[in-house]
Amino acid sequence: MLKTMNAVHRGVLKVSGGRLGWDAQNMPVLELTTTGRKSGRPHSVMLTSPVQEGNTSVIVASRGGDDHHPAWFLNLQANPEVEVAMKGGARRRMRARVATAEERARLWPLVVADHKNYAGYQRRTQREIPLVLLEPQ
């Protein structure tokens, strides 16, 4: 289902010439490109960013509350050098890192305050859903 949603999202962006699809559920959407940890090939996924602080975007490795981390998360753990595309901007190289325990404790309430779906995802799984910070290089 998640792959289908990504394909539909990309279709909306393409058909609208990029005018539609860069916002979802009152959050900016970004395209994250990671390097496959096994294949070494680029893999892209459309994600929302519920919190932005300066030039840093926060993304949530929720996978809809699944008990397994999303593939993109495993890829960036193996290689934190990523590319990010956002509305109106060119692709840019960024470095991804998992929020520290202190950062997560501060950021998680901000994430779920306006986007309660993430709190529901956390209730569905035993794993702590990681927050990832995308920082300019």
What is the domain partition of the chain in residue ranges? 2-136
pLDDT reading at 12 higher than 80: no
Those residues whose C-beta lies under 8 Å from the C-beta of residue 119, and which sit 6 or more positions away, are 112
Residue whose tokens read 């996924």: 45
- 83-117 pLDDT, tens digit each: 999 887 789 999 999 999 999 999 999 999 989 99
Is 2-136 in CATH node 3.40.1670.10?
A: no
Give residue 88's pLDDT: 72
Q: Within 13 Å of residue 106, how many CA atoms lie on the same side as its CB?
A: 8
pLDDT reading at 8 higher than 60: no
Closest-CA residue to 70 (of 98, 106, 112): 98
pLDDT greater at residue 63 or residue 20: 63
pLDDT reading at 17 higher than 70: no
Q: Within 13 Å of residue 3, how many CA atoms lie on the same side as its CB?
A: 2
